[in-house]
Structure 1
Amino acid sequence: MQFRENMRIGQRPKRVMWPKIIIIAVAIIALLVVLGAGYTYWALAPMRSAESRVEKIVHQKTDLVNLNQITVDYRDQTTYAVIGENAKGQQKVAVVQGSSQKVTTFPRSDGMSNQQLTKLLNDRYHPKRVYAANISYFKGVPVWEVSYTSDNGQLNYLTLDFKTGKAYRVINGL
């Protein structure tokens, strides 16, 4: 047998099997996507069950028929605010605090609109980015709970009166 530069004559170098490598890589990526989606679904299960419980309570104890939006606030206790419409088409807000069965409703038109709130925030506080603006209760009064970052990148937190926009509590630089 003749050798030529450490290789036997008549033997070919092994080829890389690109189709096998691609199939294995795609399978691994698909597995990671499925695992990530499953974990996300599992992690959000408590939130889904709480929201369905709140929806059921609101349907049972109020005249709201179409529920448009559910927000949650975790300040003192968990507070769910459900914005919906009654059979006459009037928008109302139903607030459920914690795990209680008590629902408080009031007309959405009693408070500032989303556009008015946005204008107030831009004029007074100049947010770089608003993270959340949820309806909640503070000392028995409906309020807006707003979290935003300022131009200098600091996280700020506001509690504003639902009707007037008066600041009850301002926390800057968290």
Structure 2
Amino acid sequence: MKKILWGIIILIVISIGAGSFIYLNSTKPVRAAESKAVEIAKQETDLSEAEDFNLYHGAETFYVIEGKDHDGTSIYVWVPEKKGKIVSLKQSDGISKNEAINRLKQEKNAAEIVSVRLGMEKNIPLWEIHYRSGSNLINYYYIDFKTGEWLKKIENL
């Protein structure tokens, strides 16, 4: 009985170790991208403190950093993965995440909002809202960050 118990414990320890190893190795590229993007943003913009980081994969990939500038003002910084213009805007220069969600709900019947993140398409900062409709279909709704106007939608995937 003791051998079986020790065998199970060893198996659990090996499983936890392997899972941890796989997880850490799979997140390493994202952590490296975050570190590089934050460093570039601090050099090229007024970003002094990074609070959140997201990846946006559209026509081009952007690293989006939420943080504060040297005056303590909340800002967003869009850093292109490849060469391109870095954009930095005060959060107050556009609509909030909740306002973007409310705009979606006014127009569409979103059964479940899966994710809301900032992105950039054709040099326009935007909110990308990924949601499921009542029939459980995947939809994307894009709202201009500055104006709050609808830009495009991809429906019923």
Is the partner of 1:68 in helix, strand or coil?
strand
Question: What's the offset of the Cα at 1:56?
Answer: 0.6
Which of 155, 158, 167 aligns to 2:138? It is 155
Question: What's the offset of the Cα at 1:22?
Answer: 1.2
Query: Could you say which structure has the higher strand fraction?
Result: 2
1:168 corresponding residue in structure 2: 151
Does the alignment pair 1:121 with 2:111? no
Is the partner of 1:128 in helix, strand or coil?
strand
2:13 corresponding residue in structure 1: 30
Take 1:29 and 1:123, find their aligned partners in 2: how far apart are those partners?
49
Higher RCO, Cα 8 Å, sep 6+? 2
Specify every segment of 5 or more residues in structure 1 that has no aligned partner in the other structure, as ranges. Answer: 1-17
2:64 corresponding residue in structure 1: 81
Question: What's the offset of the Cα at 1:89?
Answer: 1.4
2:36 corresponding residue in structure 1: 53
| More displaced 10-residue stretch of structure 1: 127-136 or 86-95 | 127-136
Q: How many residues align?
A: 157
Identity value in percent: 25
Does the alignment pair 1:68 with 2:16? no
Ranges of 4+ aligned residues in structure 1 off by more than 6 Å: none
| More displaced 10-residue stretch of structure 1: 160-169 or 51-60 | 160-169
| More displaced 10-residue stretch of structure 1: 145-154 or 97-106 | 97-106
TM score, norm. by length of structure 1: 0.83
Which of 93, 102, 106 aligns to 1:110? It is 93
Aligned-pair Cα RMSD in Å: 1.5
Take 2:13 and 2:106, find their aligned partners in 1: how far apart are those partners?
48
Question: What's the offset of the Cα at 1:51?
Answer: 0.8
Specify every segment of 5 or more residues in structure 2 that has no aligned partner in the other structure, as ranges. Answer: none
1:140 corresponding residue in structure 2: 123
| More displaced 10-residue stretch of structure 1: 70-79 or 101-110 | 101-110
TM score, norm. by length of structure 2: 0.92
Take 2:70 and 2:95, find their aligned partners in 1: how far apart are those partners?
23
| More displaced 10-residue stretch of structure 1: 113-122 or 51-60 | 113-122
